[in-house]
């Protein structure tokens, strides 16, 4: 797979003073003091591997995907359908101030600002080196914590069974093409959302999330295909009924609600038995649940995974 090199300087590379201060705060909280001497935006894959912050025990020991690939090869259709488009175009999105509203079947609905989100869990112990299927198969050092820490703040009611996510949408700067039904919607079962591997994510490679990666806050669900990991979220709603989601609504035969990585269930137009990790020439066998079967298979015990795909 050939990866075209994005332009050396894009709008998303230009850092506002407020964004710079947020980066410094996140770096302090993640223990990445080494960035002070090398410059925040110049952290490389090898530098990120040396971060003094402790990795989550859920992390893989596989080699990280290169930072340029993770930050420059993305799916974020609101900013274009080519993989390089988000890095070129997403810099116009303003991510400060930002709020996430959590509502629905909860005892204590609440709106969280970014400062609130940063305080919910000790980020100095929350660097996750996870296998992910983003625009391609990758291993990414996300900075965040279990989404359950946020959901517990609002006290889900007993009738809540699902969690729906809505992404930011601004037609003045984002595409108006009807590629999907905007704003982007995704959802999980409540037990999936409460699993320790489902992350509320605020950073990557020792810095706050770049816009093209879903700034300033996104979800990462590493055992599912990447479109389940909603970017730039502004609303979380707990519901009793299964929520409509963007790709499942657009093409239900091709994109199921669950969208678990499963080598035994092919996409209607291609096999999913093998994958190509970004940067590799040869394909490798796809692992069940993207290699997290030991952690998450119990969520689907007794389910027909070909039917509930």
**One digit per residue, pLDDT tens: the chain, 309 residues?**
222 223 333 333 333 444 444 444 444 444 432 232 222 233 333 333 333 356 788 889 899 999 999 999 999 999 999 999 999 999 999 999 999 999 999 999 999 999 899 888 766 557 788 888 887 899 999 999 999 999 999 999 999 999 999 999 999 999 999 999 999 999 999 999 999 999 999 999 988 999 999 999 999 999 999 999 999 999 999 999 999 999 999 999 999 999 999 999 999 999 999 999 998 999 999 999 999 999 999 999 999 999 999
pLDDT at 120: 87
d(CA 283, CA 276): 4
State residue 58's pLDDT score: 87
- Indicate the helix (H) or strand (E) that contains 16: none
Distance CA 220, CA 236 (A): 14
> C-alpha angle with apex 217: 215 to 219, nearest 5 degrees?
115
Residue 131: the pLDDT is 87
For residue 46, the model assigns a pLDDT of 36
CA distance 191 to 235: 19
The pLDDT of residue 32:
39
Q: What is the pLDDT of residue 215?
A: 97
Query: Do the beta carbons of residue 81 and residue 62 sit within 8 Å?
Result: no
Q: CA-to-CA distance for 83 and 74, rounded, in angstroms?
A: 5
The CATH class for the domain spanning 14-256 reads alpha beta
* Cα–Cα distance for residue pair 115/174, rounded to 1 Å: 26
Note the pLDDT of residue 127: 78
Yes or no: say if 206 and 40 are a contact pair by the CB < 8 Å rule: yes
């Amino acid at each position: 797979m050939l990866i075209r090199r994005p332009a050396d300087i894009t709008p998303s590379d230009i850092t506002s003073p407020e964004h710079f201060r947020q980066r410094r705060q996140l770096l302090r909280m993640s223990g990445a003091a080494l960035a002070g001497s090398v410059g925040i935006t110049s952290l490389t894959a090898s530098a990120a591997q040396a971060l003094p912050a402790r990795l989550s025990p859920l992390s893989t020991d596989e080699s990280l995907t290169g930072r340029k690939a993770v930050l420059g090869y993305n799916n974020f259709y609101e900013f274009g359908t080519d993989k390089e488009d988000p890095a070129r175009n997403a810099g116009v999105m303003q991510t400060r101030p930002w709020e996430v509203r959590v509502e629905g079947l909860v005892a204590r609905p609440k709106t969280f600002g970014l400062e609130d989100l940063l305080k919910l869990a000790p980020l100095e112990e929350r660097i996750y080196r996870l296998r992910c299927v983003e625009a391609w198969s990758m291993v990414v050092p996300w900075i965040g914590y279990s989404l359950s820490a946020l959901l517990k703040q609002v006290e889900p009611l007993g009738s809540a069974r699902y969690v729906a996510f809505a992404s930011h949408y601004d037609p003045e700067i984002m595409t108006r093409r009807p590629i999907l039904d905007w704003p982007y919607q995704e959802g999980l079962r409540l037990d999936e959302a409460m699993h320790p591997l489902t992350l509320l994510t605020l950073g990557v490679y020792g810095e706050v999330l770049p816009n093209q990666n879903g700034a300033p806050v996104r979800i990462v669900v590493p055992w599912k295909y990447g479109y389940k990991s909603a970017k730039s979220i502004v609303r979380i709603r707990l519901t009793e009924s299964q929520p409509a989601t963007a790709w499942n609504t657009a093409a239900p035969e091709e994109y199921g609600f669950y969208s678990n990585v499963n080598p035994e269930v092919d996409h209607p137009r291609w096999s999913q038995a093998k994958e190509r990790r970004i940067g590799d020439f040869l394909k490798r066998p796809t692992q069940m649940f993207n290699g997290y079967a030991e952690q998450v298979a119990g969520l689907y015990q007794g389910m027909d995974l070909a039917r509930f795909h």
